[in-house]
Structure 1
Amino acid sequence: MITRTPRPPTAFAATATTFGRVLTAYRHSPGLLAITLAAPAGMMLLFGFVFGGALAGTADTAAYRSYLTPGVLVLVAAMGLTATASTANADLNSGLTDRFRALPLPAFAVPAGLALAETLTGGVALAAMSGIGMAAGWRIDAAPVEILTAVALLLLFRFTLSWAGICLGAVIRDEQMLQQTAPLIFGVIMFSNVFVPTETMPGPLRAFAEWNPVSAVVAALRELFGAPGSVAADAAWPLREPVAASAIWLTVALIVTIPVVLRQYGSARPHRN
């Protein structure tokens, strides 16, 4: 009698398995989506309606809300970074990742499945936030190709931040220290053009904001969705060519974070207190 040794799962099958595990966890915790949307929706109401008149100045307040919405969409995608980092960190410290490593799975499968699942759930949150933006008066004035490009860019941004979050969760093994990085991440996001044009900022802060990758993605979405507003003639290159700049920033981020993640997952051991 010939005994056949089971073949190890392919990289695609292994990634799909870990992808399904993360989605199952989200299915049992539907409140996570509401928590993800709570802060950005509150900021939409605060900046769009409470502060909207002051920020818009002499311009139409409704036009400012259309200007604001692409920035809030980027904010929704960016705020998922800390949640992804916490999930990766918990898996590593609990020993769950070690159990996966004991299986005949490619090293790439576990973090890739997590990144894809976080991107999918992030896409659901972005769709819900788009509906809130529409209710607030946001309108898209662009061709179908431009709209699809904007959606693809937004999902690529979320996918890239998923890998960045996994990288943070793997490198910063102390859970409390990881939690303290959330305000720093939020601060970097705020130093951008999410809420106001960069030309209204003082010199050094304006330079930082214009070279902030978040600003490039926001500017690209505004351009692709046909949102009102124009970029100053003396703006930095990432704001004058935001789509190209966004593609470069995101590619560099993936090139940097993915090898770090794979190295960390390959040598990961649970942290014991």
Structure 2
Amino acid sequence: MTAPTATRTVSPAAGAWILFLRVAATYRNAPGLLAVTLAAPLGMMLLFGFVFGGALAGGSDAAAYRSYLTPGVLVLVAAMGLVVTASTVNADLRSGLTDRLRALPVPPVAVPAGLALAETVTGASALATMAGVGFLAGWRVEATPADVALAVLLLLAFRFALAWLGIVLGASIRDEQMLQQVAPLIFGAVMFSNVFVPTETMPAVVATIAEWNPVSAVVAALRQLFGSGTTVAADAAWPMQHPVVAAFAWTAVILAVSVPIAVRGYASSR
């Protein structure tokens, strides 16, 4: 009688790296996926920056408004990546790829971690492209290297957290058509923020909701760190008074909620 052969389980880091390479290869062979991530934010940049920019700037220099707008559009690019990640996870589930990945000798955390890392790296390419568009539109960074580095770290951390949230959504909403219906709702939630206009211009109730939107905190933090921040009203909500702290706190909350759910979902079928 032959003794059963022990299955060697790779470490979480090694498993995540292998799965990262798989997703990265998918993006390399399908560059159109990055174009999808950029399409809506780029359209918003052109529409609000050049068509509505003069009106939103109150008749003053529209270039100043585009400088104000660019950090918000960068966050919009990061947030739209959530939908792309959810769609990727949903497609893997429907094709049976997820079941094959679960059968591999890797810890449950490796699969979603590899995907989240790959989505963040590819998202960084989209963010760099959008930053270049903002520079061409007149955006300039007036901040110390330390503040710029912190802003980039925050933007990537937020994209990483949203990748985990996208994994949870993609795995929870199994129906492809339903996921397509949810995508506009996600976009609407992102738009319900200070991306395009200051919250001070909104009605009181709407302003309060927008100021507690995690997107608003990240946008305000980037504007402050990149040197394009605006004066904050004395009665503004706490996240607007302390945007950098609030942005990192919201990012940590999203990770704390999403990571256990995503890992549990991959481990449940073992």
User: What TM-score does the superposition give when structure 1 sets the normalisation length?
Assistant: 0.94
1:260 aligns with 2:251: no
Counterparts of 1:51 and 1:227 in 2: how far apart (Å)? Answer: 20
Q: Which segment is superposed worse, 86-95 or 15-24?
A: 86-95
Determine the structure 2 residue equivalent to 1:251.
252
CA contact (8 A) 2:161 2:254 kept: yes
Determine the structure 2 residue equivalent to 1:113.
114
Deviating beyond 6 angstroms after TM superposition, the runs of 4 or more aligned structure 1 residues are: none
Distance 1:161-1:219 versus aligned 2 partners, 3 A rule: same
Counterparts of 1:152 and 1:253 in 2: how far apart (Å)? Answer: 16
Residues matched between the structures, number: 267
CA contact (8 A) 2:8 2:105 kept: no
Structure 1 SS opposite 2:235? coil
Distance 1:96-1:4 versus aligned 2 partners, 3 A rule: closer
Counterparts of 1:142 and 1:59 in 2: how far apart (Å)? Answer: 24
Q: Deviations over 1:138-195 (max 9, x none)?
A: 0000000000000000000100000000000111111111111111101111110000
Counterparts of 2:175 and 2:148 in 1: how far apart (Å)? Answer: 41
Structure 2 SS opposite 1:160? helix
Determine the structure 1 residue equivalent to 2:23.
22
* Runs of 5+ unmatched residues, structure 2: none
Q: Deviations over 1:199-242 (max 9, x none)?
A: 10011111110010000000000000001422212110001100
Determine the structure 1 residue equivalent to 2:93.
92
CA contact (8 A) 1:92 1:268 kept: no
CA contact (8 A) 1:65 1:138 kept: yes
Q: Deviations over 1:4-34 (max 9, x none)?
A: 9563211111111100000011011011112
Counterparts of 1:108 and 1:93 in 2: how far apart (Å)? Answer: 20
- Shift, 1:268, TM fit: 4.8
Determine the structure 1 residue equivalent to 2:128.
127
One-letter amino acid of the counterpart of residue 190, structure 2: I
Counterparts of 2:79 and 2:146 in 1: how far apart (Å)? Answer: 24
CA contact (8 A) 2:220 2:229 kept: no
Counterparts of 1:194 and 1:50 in 2: how far apart (Å)? Answer: 16
* Runs of 5+ unmatched residues, structure 1: none
- Shift, 1:97, TM fit: 1.3
Counterparts of 1:233 and 1:65 in 2: how far apart (Å)? Answer: 25
CA contact (8 A) 1:15 1:109 kept: yes
Determine the structure 2 residue equivalent to 1:151.
152
Counterparts of 1:85 and 1:196 in 2: how far apart (Å)? Answer: 28
- Shift, 1:59, TM fit: 3.4
Counterparts of 1:259 and 1:35 in 2: how far apart (Å)? Answer: 29
Q: Deviations over 1:19-50 (max 9, x none)?
A: 00000110110111122112211111111111
CA contact (8 A) 1:66 1:228 kept: no
- Shift, 1:93, TM fit: 2.4
Structure 2 SS opposite 1:156? helix
Q: Deviations over 1:231-269 (max 9, x none)?
A: 212110001100110111111111111111111112259
Q: Which segment is superposed worse, 209-218 or 9-18?
A: 9-18
User: What TM-score does the superposition give when structure 2 sets the normalisation length?
Assistant: 0.95
CA contact (8 A) 1:68 1:195 kept: yes
Q: Which segment is superposed worse, 71-80 or 54-63?
A: 54-63
